[in-house]
Structure 1
Amino acid sequence: MNVDQADPAELAVLRAAFDVDDGGESALGWEAVRAFEAAHGVVLPEPYRTFVAEITDGSYSGPPEYGLLPVAELPDDWGDDEQERDLSKPFPLTEAWIWEEDSDPSEDSDEVLEQVYNHGSIVLGTDGCAMNWHLIVAGPHRGHVWLISDVGAVPFGAQFGFTTGESGFAGWVRHWAANKPWYDAA
């Protein structure tokens, strides 16, 4: 997974998966992508960066279940719109955390939980019922996709278990395009 340079093969997979044939009209364009990055103090990981600049910024055809959100939007059921999200602060997790099953939460758990939702990620979209897919844009897991719900957070990618899919945005889309269940590891 290369998050600094777009792989032409991955971009071809993304174009095919979204089958966008609008002459790039739904894409943000490079000027808008750079403006978004400057405003939020991040550089979007590749191939997502090129995807929103040249292919499309959001799609009703998914993934996930309710479609891919534009880079600057949140799902309708996000909750507290007043909560400030800071994309430049590192996403705090590097391994799955099911807080609902955490029998001995630390005093810092509430603070870390707040960071899970609001630091270092953009929301790709929702599968409904507060199950949101995030692309990590800051921190050690930059470029990885995570499922964050009301009970826990899990990274997507074969090396983390749970799924046979490849890590990163292109792997996540490829897995969806192959019509595989998200978590298909035995």
Structure 2
Amino acid sequence: MNTEHASPAGLAILRAAFDVDDHGASALGLPAVRAYEAEHGVVLPEPYRTFVAEMTDGSYAGPPDFGLLALAELPGDWGDGRPARRLDLPFPLTEAWLWEDEDDDPRSEEEVDALLDRVFDHGSIVLGTDGCGMNWHLVVTGPHRGHVWNISGEGATPFGAEFGFTTGSAGFAGWVEHWAANKPWFDAP
């Protein structure tokens, strides 16, 4: 997965899935993307960066179920009172974590709560929601930069065949391609 350069094949997948042409009428444009990146202290991973700059910034047609959010948006059910989102701080996970099932976690409740805040609010943008607080994030900072994660009230799971939950390819283009093929998100045997 190359997060520094958008591949022609990856961009073709995105154009086909969202039925966008090269004119990008609803795209942000590179100056707006650069301004967003400067404001948040990040460089968006490819091919998402090219996607929002040249194709479209959000779409009512998924993925996910309720559509792809614009770059600066959050789902309507995100909630008030959350800590400030810090995209420049690293996303803290590199493997799935189902915190709802962990009764034997050696960390204190305060440590777990602090880690949960970082999972939800550090190093990722929210791509959209499948409802009921089940949101898809694109990691923009940290070891999993460029990976898509499903984060809900019960746990966090990375998307990509190498993680064992799906047959789809990792990264934004792989996530979109999986959706466009009308496959269930978690389709690994």
TM-score (ref. length: structure 2): 0.96
Q: 1:79 corresponds to which residue? A: 79
Tell me how far 1:21 sits from its aligned partner: 4.8
Change (3 A) 1:39 1:148: same
Secondary structure in structure 1 of the residue aligned to 2:137: strand
Q: 2:168 corresponds to which residue? A: 165
Q: Deviations over 1:146-170 (max 9, x none)?
A: 0000000000000000100000000
Unaligned runs of 5+ in 1: none
CA distance in 2, matches of 1:114, 1:42: 19
Q: 2:139 corresponds to which residue? A: 136
Q: 2:50 corresponds to which residue? A: 50
Count the aligned residue pairs.
186
Q: Pick from 111, 119, 123: which aligns with 1:120?
A: 123
Q: 1:30 corresponds to which residue? A: 30
Secondary structure in structure 2 of the residue aligned to 1:79: coil
Tell me how far 1:104 sits from its aligned partner: 2.1
Percentage of pairs with the same residue: 71
Higher mean C-alpha deviation, range 151-160 or range 75-84 = 75-84
CA distance in 1, matches of 2:49, 2:42: 11
Partner AA of 1:163 in structure 2: T
CA distance in 2, matches of 1:24, 1:156: 27
Higher mean C-alpha deviation, range 37-46 or range 82-91 = 82-91
Q: 1:66 corresponds to which residue? A: 66
Tell me how far 1:23 sits from its aligned partner: 3.1
Q: 1:94 corresponds to which residue? A: 94
Change (3 A) 1:82 1:116: closer
Tell me how far 1:80 sits from its aligned partner: 1.9
CA distance in 2, matches of 1:50, 1:22: 11
TM-score (ref. length: structure 1): 0.98
Higher mean C-alpha deviation, range 82-91 or range 128-137 = 82-91
Tell me how far 1:83 sits from its aligned partner: 2.6
RMSD: 1.1
Q: 2:157 corresponds to which residue? A: 154
Unaligned runs of 5+ in 2: none
CA distance in 2, matches of 1:49, 1:117: 21
User: Post-superposition, which runs of at least 4 consecutive aligned residues in structure 1 deviate over 6 A?
Assistant: none
CA distance in 1, matches of 2:125, 2:169: 19
